[in-house]
Structure 1
């Protein structure tokens, strides 16, 4: 250490250091004075300081090896060269050392300069604190306009910002739908954020005066309610797209350990303000989800495209609307399915030509493919949509439906759970979760799901429909009827519910109640639809089969009518005729359509018909396929009572009576209560089995008791 300090004095390094610090201080003072007199880039001061600081190790290295004075620069001799009149030039190793120090100092200085630059820009934008958070909900903006006529703009702006934020990687963005529902319930922003399980919420207001637009936003921490950031934007209405971009960029920069520059979020909107206004009005009507509002949404989207034919998102909105206006149980039934799919596909193609990175376009494209039963293509499109926007809840929802239809139950449940995590108050997703839990036999969880649905949406019939399905699956037909009545009270025009109620009553064998309902003009047409079923219950077989023969003659190419006639002939009529009807019309139906689960019908009944004809090989092939499908569902934990009933039928056809009775008993434990069990021709080989007879008695006694409860219910 003594030698080192001695060398510092001999080489006059300290003197050089003091001189450099003094000159640096003087330079900084000059820069400070000049910056106060004229407008300079705010990075000049920090940049100068960094250059001087990074130059310090270079100066120290040079002063160690050279004497710098007014006379020039001379090489400082080493100790062993001090008495040598000829000083050798600096060696190549020391020149490499100098180059290395220059490189390292420059690299470190550049890194610090960039960091200071980003902090400076963030500070100018009001982002003075980095608050790491991985989730957010954008609440509906309030309309502060004098006329209170800008709700479409306020909601639309929040919805578009949600879409932009969803495109950021590693960032969970709760769906707009749930935020809107909770906001209508009057919850505070922080309470909404906690309910949606997000760490932050963005609130805002919109005020339009003439062509001027004022938007104020505030970002809150849901844990403590503290404001993390607030900003106001006063622009012309035509700059609304820029405002959306700036807000989204600022939020991500604040909540994530990164910085997005201006323009990082691709502009997805229109170049026409008028077109964008029409688009937002279309979205407002779309959110109402009624037949009339969907028709109006279609008109607005078409007007938006007339104003701006290059507006990609308007094509998506129009395609989505057209698809939902198609026929089908979950749609609005205005347009023929094939026509709606064709029109929707054309608009989606136009959207993707204009913007191939639009997540919503791929989601709707997948839905169109699912309408056409092309589920593999639909899944590819849903996955593409999710890749582009990991927070697109509807893509997960539609993916669940496709996977469920393909029998990929484990994967479908994961997709459904993801959809609900992003959109916890999505009615359809909640209902489907309850149905799925029912299918898995997790009845208490399913019931809790439907009860929460009932609490969140007290005017919706879906919770009662779900509870009805649970009770039916458990064999509680009386409870199912009660819940269906409650659903029907909330939706009295719903014909599907009316048909379901009558069907449940007939499953229970309450023909007297059904016939009494038929005296009411509102129910007469529905009860008339079940006239054939009533004839069966009242054992009017001759009349029934005469009617069936007439229908068969009038519809010779209707396979499923032939199947229905065969089924009733097998139970109550001519078994030889049943066998003929089961087999002779097989060419009229696709083979894949014969294996509908959980009954594996009509394949299992056709297998029985082949056995009656001693056509063993054909029967075994059908039974083998049904067994494979049954095992797949059992492996996936699907525990409908129908699955175990199918197992009992398979065992009976394979002449394994003990296994058949055991499976039937398990089916009863899971809720099997079908009145026609004792007439099932597939179980006829068990007729003399005392355990089988005991199970039949259990079914009959339980149904009789429930019939009395239903009779008392309808007499009130």
Structure 2
């Protein structure tokens, strides 16, 4: 050993080997930098490392036999040759030794290179299963662009990958909205995965420069935070749809015991126009904010995307979705008449389905359109089609739940809403709808807590305040409801539905002067004339409207109802019952009031049309059995008992309705309660309603004076 170490020193093997290692380290650093910058093949780095590792034995052999000096390469003399001027040349034996080392090193290097190549291909193409998983969340990618102005692209890319993965069999894919909310709260990807109850999380970053984007993705195991897969991609922006498909396919292959080839999980949201895609992503960004103002902006972006590419199917779907949600309604954004919104949405869906019939969102929005048209049974076919294409489409479950509610199928509605919440637990509308359903079931305290929590999570949204307004309105607390509505309107000033509800509450409290300062909408004129006791003007107004619309039953009914309370009973009977039979049953028995059928039953009792009278009361009673118990259903039950002549039960249910929050100003004028209006208990209840309304009116007046 001493002689060997002496030989190492004499032959100066250490210095060239150190130089070799230093040069290798430097070149590896350069290769690592250049590979990422120029998007070279990912095997360039490993190949370079293997070349240097396998070349090390060769370098050792050559360093033993040659001196590497500034004057050139010289043959190193042996010990016996050091004092002998004749140095043996590098002979056949040396060449054989060198060749043997070279062959062995090359063989080992090639074997390792093939192994690394196989692993890399399996990772990048998803050819191997690294973890069996059936649940995943795709988090919004971070914007790494220098100007930080590509957030819409980063979030939109994650949203599109979520949609693609949702269409893959065997996956539960959490909706991207909930992931975005939790990301904005600063939670780590692993914590978000645990919060969303998924096994794996896909996260990443986007860096855009000109028409090129660099995307880095990382797949994490939620249980232990281990990185299962990571990859970087550099693409032209026009190739982003192929990139979305490639990433989605790799994730499926990595997490499922199967292999999807190139071309499967194809993005259906593609377009040839980069500018159209940018407009589409900006539209999606505005859509996610879920306010009247943002939805109007989203509509403009989608329209611009279509103008840039008239064949862009996804843009037509986005536009249809936005227009449908801009319709009037308690859970929509109150800009367009429902029929107009549904017609416009349907036209855009027709254009989308011609261009790309397999987009799941087409059928989800189609179901929403049918819901807006009150075609509830027909909507299920569309929702089921959407969920067949993408079983993880949370919005389809949510809208399907609304159709079940409309059909009074509350248990099924809750089931669908639970599915929506599992996939998208932090989406504003999901939580809001859950609160609404709890409220409809009479679980007022639970509903109130849902809306309070929603306010903490989304203080800038109108929905939690709108929900609390509903709770207080149901409890007969109009003043508290008005306060919440003012907060809601402050956050969504263009939502006409909120304004309508505020004005209706003001009118219910008899605050006509405040209402006049708020709006000049003629829809409130009739009720204001009643509060001002200008009955001649009221009936003249209704007579004019009847002459202008002689075939409109609802105008006749309204006029008849005013006559029933404040005018001529004979006129009321005629106007309420005339043309009634032309209505469809659905329109006759509108719940929870079973109106106008129950008012027609009142006219039948007076005119002794007993057969229809009995039939109507029987059907209303049956329908009430399917309704949830709350003030409105209690009041309708009281009216039914009063019509039947059962005064004691009428008073029992009238008391229940008041206890549950019934505070309608017109209760004391209701002709259907004439059978009990001389009872002392009835008078006490009316007095309580009047006093409570007066107290609340005073509270609201002070609020507006402040």
**Shorter-chain TM-score range:** 0.7 to 0.9
Deviation at 1:249, TM superposition (A): 2.9
Deviation at 1:539, TM superposition (A): 3.2
Change (3 A) 1:325 1:656: closer
Conserved? CA contact 1:174–1:196, under 8 Å? yes
* Distance in 1 of aligned mates of 2:465 and 2:371: 28
1:630-674: per-residue Cα shift (whole Å, max 9, x none)?
A: 1112xxxx2231111111111111222222222222212211112
Conserved? CA contact 1:301–1:317, under 8 Å? no
Match of 2:280 in 1: 282
Q: TM-score, normalised by structure 1?
A: 0.75
1:105-136: per-residue Cα shift (whole Å, max 9, x none)?
A: xxxxxxxxxxxx99996467689883444322
2:653 matches 1:653: no
* Distance in 2 of aligned mates of 1:415 and 1:150: 35
Conserved? CA contact 1:268–1:312, under 8 Å? no
1:465 is paired with a residue whose SS is helix
Conserved? CA contact 2:321–2:345, under 8 Å? no
Match of 1:298 in 2: 303
Match of 1:576 in 2: 570
* Distance in 2 of aligned mates of 1:192 and 1:38: 42
Conserved? CA contact 1:319–1:344, under 8 Å? yes
1:203 is paired with a residue whose SS is strand
* Distance in 2 of aligned mates of 1:646 and 1:254: 59
1:336 is paired with a residue whose SS is helix
Deviation at 1:585, TM superposition (A): 3.4
* Distance in 2 of aligned mates of 1:338 and 1:548: 30
Deviates more, 1:129-138 or 1:678-687: 129-138
Match of 2:672 in 1: 682
Match of 1:503 in 2: 504
Conserved? CA contact 1:348–1:364, under 8 Å? no
2:35 matches 1:36: no
Change (3 A) 1:507 1:365: closer
* Distance in 1 of aligned mates of 2:347 and 2:255: 41
2:430 matches 1:418: no
Deviation at 1:466, TM superposition (A): 1.1
Conserved? CA contact 1:440–1:639, under 8 Å? yes
2:219 is paired with a residue whose SS is strand
Conserved? CA contact 2:201–2:220, under 8 Å? yes
Match of 2:92 in 1: none
Change (3 A) 1:499 1:367: closer
* Distance in 2 of aligned mates of 1:294 and 1:231: 35
Deviation at 1:457, TM superposition (A): 1.8
Match of 2:258 in 1: 259
Change (3 A) 1:686 1:300: same
Deviation at 1:397, TM superposition (A): 1.7
CA RMSD of aligned residues (A): 3.3
Conserved? CA contact 1:652–1:683, under 8 Å? yes
* Distance in 2 of aligned mates of 1:211 and 1:163: 24
Match of 1:599 in 2: 593
* Distance in 2 of aligned mates of 1:451 and 1:677: 32
Q: What aligned pairs does 1:668-679 form with structure 2 within 5 A after superposition?
A: 668-679=658-669
1:156 is paired with a residue whose SS is helix
Deviation at 1:577, TM superposition (A): 1.5
Q: TM-score, normalised by structure 2?
A: 0.76
2:273 is paired with a residue whose SS is helix
Match of 2:230 in 1: 230
* Distance in 2 of aligned mates of 1:701 and 1:319: 48
* Distance in 1 of aligned mates of 2:590 and 2:315: 39
Conserved? CA contact 1:686–1:692, under 8 Å? yes
* Distance in 2 of aligned mates of 1:332 and 1:265: 40
Conserved? CA contact 2:302–2:315, under 8 Å? no
Conserved? CA contact 1:152–1:281, under 8 Å? no
1:83-117: per-residue Cα shift (whole Å, max 9, x none)?
A: xxxxxxxxxxxxxxxxxxxxxxxxxxxxxxxxxx9
* Distance in 1 of aligned mates of 2:220 and 2:688: 60
Conserved? CA contact 2:138–2:176, under 8 Å? yes
Moved over 6 A (4+): 32-35, 37-43, 117-121, 126-129, 325-328
Q: What aligned pairs does 1:509-524 form with structure 2 within 5 A after superposition?
A: 509=510, 511=511, 514-516=512-514, 518=516, 520=517, 523=518
Conserved? CA contact 1:478–1:706, under 8 Å? yes
2:364 matches 1:363: yes
Change (3 A) 1:685 1:410: same
1:608-636: per-residue Cα shift (whole Å, max 9, x none)?
A: 10111000011122222212221112xxx
Conserved? CA contact 1:420–1:430, under 8 Å? yes
Change (3 A) 1:375 1:492: closer
Match of 1:167 in 2: 167
Match of 2:486 in 1: 485
Conserved? CA contact 1:118–1:259, under 8 Å? no
Change (3 A) 1:238 1:543: closer
Conserved? CA contact 2:126–2:249, under 8 Å? no
Change (3 A) 1:580 1:118: farther
Conserved? CA contact 1:320–1:364, under 8 Å? yes
Match of 2:21 in 1: none
Match of 1:456 in 2: 457
* Distance in 2 of aligned mates of 1:280 and 1:135: 30
Change (3 A) 1:547 1:323: closer
Change (3 A) 1:150 1:699: closer
Deviates more, 1:650-659 or 1:230-239: 230-239
Aligned residues: 593
2:551 matches 1:547: no
1:530 is paired with a residue whose SS is helix
Deviation at 1:474, TM superposition (A): 1.2
Unaligned 5+ segments in structure 1 are 1-31, 46-116
* Distance in 2 of aligned mates of 1:659 and 1:141: 62
Conserved? CA contact 1:471–1:480, under 8 Å? yes
* Distance in 2 of aligned mates of 1:432 and 1:665: 30
Conserved? CA contact 1:301–1:318, under 8 Å? no
Match for 1:533 among 527, 534, 551? 527
1:522-546: per-residue Cα shift (whole Å, max 9, x none)?
A: x2525x6534323323433334323
Q: What aligned pairs does 1:189-268 form with structure 2 within 5 A after superposition?
A: 189-209=189-209, 212-237=212-237, 239-256=239-256, 258-263=257-262, 265-268=264-267
* Distance in 1 of aligned mates of 2:244 and 2:150: 16
Conserved? CA contact 1:212–1:236, under 8 Å? yes
Deviation at 1:363, TM superposition (A): 1.7
Change (3 A) 1:38 1:189: closer
Deviation at 1:380, TM superposition (A): 0.7
Match of 2:88 in 1: none
Conserved? CA contact 1:363–1:381, under 8 Å? yes
1:51-81: per-residue Cα shift (whole Å, max 9, x none)?
A: xxxxxxxxxxxxxxxxxxxxxxxxxxxxxxx
Change (3 A) 1:142 1:560: same
2:346 matches 1:333: no
* Distance in 1 of aligned mates of 2:352 and 2:123: 41
Change (3 A) 1:704 1:157: closer
* Distance in 2 of aligned mates of 1:539 and 1:317: 49
* Distance in 2 of aligned mates of 1:350 and 1:471: 47
Match of 1:556 in 2: 550
Match of 2:141 in 1: 141
* Distance in 1 of aligned mates of 2:572 and 2:124: 83
* Distance in 1 of aligned mates of 2:450 and 2:275: 38
Deviation at 1:217, TM superposition (A): 0.9
Conserved? CA contact 2:507–2:515, under 8 Å? no
2:575 is paired with a residue whose SS is helix
1:569-610: per-residue Cα shift (whole Å, max 9, x none)?
A: 112221121111111232564342121111111110011101
